[in-house]
Chains A and B, each alone.
Chain A
Amino acid sequence: MTKDTISKRKFMEEFRRYQKGSVTRRHFLNVTGLGAAAAVMGTAVPGLKPRPAFAAEDIGDRVILATWPNYHDPDNFDAFTEATGAAVQVNVFGSNEEMLAKLQAGGSGWDVYVPTNYTITTYVSEGLIEPLDTSRLSNYDPTAFDPRYAEAGSVDGQLYAVPKNWGTTGYAVNTSHTGGTTPTSWKEFFDMTMDSFSGRTMVHDYQLTTIGNALKYFGYSFNSVAENELADAEKLLIGAKPHLFAISSDYQPAMRSGDAWMTMCWTGDGKQLNTDIPEIAYVLGVEGGELWSDYYAIPKGAPHMDAAYALINFMLDPEVNAKEVLAHGYPSADAHTNKLLPEELLNDPILYPAADLLNALEFGAAVTLTDPNRAELMARFKSA
């Protein structure tokens, strides 16, 4: 097989395009090579790979994982197949909404998926998620996880999901246009947008973060659904709109070309931009903002239940997990894993922000994502 590769940056650009809905999944899978990878891993391999004779139990020949792009080390999947005989078939998704829709429609065929914190209660109330039997997850040590990133995995005392990785939503700012100073707050983000950065700022095409961060300008909760607070946020956003460069979650290209000077930004993009262009700083607003955590979970009626448990358990192995973190660059909440990671990664202020900045952040709530008023506010903002 020829080794077609795609750069991490190109991959993230394509991913944002796909997330935004501006390219089809087929296009996305094609350009990134994930489609071919999934096809090869999924169907061709199980028939060809010899079953290891020493396998403790027969878990079947495959396990189907629904996850986010660029979020795993493929070598780990190979090692899993080597050890168990089950090939990992990867389905890549662009948004939690899309994942939820697929599971609601039924017959997804997934064994393991990677929901974000604020969706788990919805999966539980919709009966779409399997309670986890910890006796089958020998590598799961609840005491090793920072509870901040683990608690959303349990609903009413029942464990449904175990932590994968976490991250933040802040903003990236090109400090070569600020006279050398780095802003520190969401107040500055919006004030600069309407002043010295007019025509140079981008906000996400995603209500959760765009409205949430506008709420932080006033010191309200990121998750507020209170009418008067949303009205304030709306006024701010609509006032800022004529000054925006774009409303788009595909912000890396414009930041790199210099057309945009500042943008709402997720950890991974912040890290990538800062690595390539050191003048671009990643800022967490002092008022707070969003903190998120992804989990491994098993959907109800997973066709390969044994393989699902085996895969999650395998990924929780600190050795394996450390390799994952090195491959995708998102922080892990597992103390055992962090012990195996290089010092400079653990000290990176973009990946592991200072405690006081981190403590001000809030997890997105289920109601924030599904609140109809927030969706309508976003539509009014975009059409204003």
Chain B
Amino acid sequence: MTRRTRTWLLLMPAGTWFLVMLLLPLSVVLVFSFGERAPAGGVVPAFTFEQYANLPARWAAFKNTLTLAPVGTLVSLLIAYPLAYFLAVKVDPKWKTILLVLVIVPFWTSILIRSYAWIFLLGGRGLPALLDWVGIEGVRLINTPFAVLIGIIYGYLPLMVFPIFVSLDRLDKRLLEAAADLGATKWNTFRQITLPLSVPGVATGCLLVFILLMGEFLIPALLGGGKVFFVGNALVDLFLQSRNWAYGSAVAATLVFVMLITVTIYMRLIARLGASRDDVSIM
């Protein structure tokens, strides 16, 4: 067996996977998106841009998604970073594993079940009842955008914590000692050493959370009471309720396209940040 054949053989499983699981379905979505809705639902083949021309009808859903995804990512980051920092740098090593496992534990149960738990927690007999008891009356939490944000942060926090934890855990502690020896304040050390070196983790975490948030539909449906409408919810309705597959495909293709653009811009920004970081380290 030549080296070349071996390479091809080893690439076969991944290649087949990409073809069958990624390219084929995406092609189907693209073909459908140029079709028309059949009278009884579904799709009839055609070549029309009608579905794309109709996209403004889902503008609100795109707007909501493009607001929630960055906000959700940012808030997750702000909560996850101190936690990851604590786990990686501050905590006694003998507790580290246990605490890390605790971060993962929620993943052992389906997000669906956990969201139902939040329905109860945020519902009238949950936290609001507790607040009522301490004198803060009339608080409504469930079925508000705030509830959706809570659900999202709760659901995606581990995805943010882990990459940041890994990058901070690998951080060479001697750099911090050197900085201290050279008279840097704690804040300066963090800003000039810890933070730049954790950028890869932050970038990965943000990307993971952002991409998943762009397609989210379950949490808004459950914790937002169906009143908070994202592209994911629009897609579910188009395919399962009004069965307008052609339009649904156009919305899905547009979502993929929007994601490609945002992720590309994001990668460029991160690359630039990485480059300037190198400059710093050379200095």
Contact = CB atoms under 8 A, between A and B. Distances in A.
Interface of A: 20-23, 27, 95, 97-98, 100-101, 104, 122, 125-126, 199, 202, 205-207, 241, 244-248, 253-254, 257-259, 370, 372, 375-376, 378-380, 382-384
B124 A382 contact: no
A241 B124 contact: no
Which 9 pairs between the two chains have the least Cβ-Cβ distance?
A246-B225, A375-B242, A247-B226, A383-B60, A383-B229, A259-B124, A382-B229, A248-B226, A246-B143
A101 B225 contact: no
Contacts of B96: none
Given A98-B240, A375-B244, A379-B234, A22 B221 contact: yes
Given A97-B240, A199-B140, A245-B143, A379 B58 contact: yes
Contacts of A126: 40
Contacts of B276: none
Nearest to B231: A383
Given A22-B218, A122-B40, A376-B57, A248 B225 contact: yes
Given A125-B40, A384-B60, A247 B225 contact: yes
A370 B38 CA distance: 10
A370 B42 CA distance: 11
Given A199-B140, A247-B227, A372-B37, 10 more contacts: A104-B40, A245-B225, A248-B221, A254-B123, A258-B124, A259-B125, A259-B142, A382-B229, A382-B233, A383-B234
Interface of A is mostly: helix
Interface in B226-252: 226-227, 229, 233-234, 236-238, 240-244
Contacts of B226: 205, 246-248, 382
A9 to B, nearest CB: 15
B112 A27 contact: yes
B222 A22 contact: yes
Contact of B237 (A98, A202, A370, A382): A382
Contacts of B119: 253
In this complex, the member of B39, B236, B237, B242 whose beta carbon has the largest number of chain A beta carbons within 10 angstroms is B242
B67 interface: no
B61 interface: yes
Contacts, number: 99
Interface of B: 37, 39-42, 57-58, 60-61, 64, 110, 112, 119, 123-125, 140, 142-143, 218, 221-222, 225-227, 229, 233-234, 236-238, 240-244
23 contacts: A21-B240, A97-B41, A97-B241, A101-B41, A101-B42, A104-B42, A125-B40, A241-B227, A244-B225, A246-B143, A247-B225, A247-B226, A248-B221, A253-B119, A254-B123, A259-B142, A375-B241, A375-B244, A379-B57, A379-B58, A382-B237, A383-B58, A384-B60
A257 B124 CA distance: 8
A261 to B, nearest CB: 11
A383 B236 CA distance: 13
Nearest to A27: B112
Nearest to B57: A376
A21 B237 CA distance: 9
Contacts of A257: 123-125
Contact of A244 (B57, B227, B242): B227
A22 B234 CA distance: 14
Nearest to B227: A247
In this complex, the member of B60, B124, B143, B244 whose beta carbon has the largest number of chain A beta carbons within 10 angstroms is B143
B119 to A, nearest CB: 7
In this complex, the member of A126, A248, A258, A379 whose beta carbon has the largest number of chain B beta carbons within 10 angstroms is A379
B246 to A, nearest CB: 11
B263 to A, nearest CB: 24
A259 B119 CA distance: 11
Contacts of A370: 39-41, 243
B103 to A, nearest CB: 25
A22 B112 contact: yes
Contacts of A100: 40-41, 243
A21 B243 contact: no
A300 to B, nearest CB: 15
Contacts of B218: 22
Nearest to A242: B227
B252 to A, nearest CB: 15
B233 to A, nearest CB: 7
Contacts of B236: 21
Contacts of B42: 101, 104
A49 B45 CA distance: 48
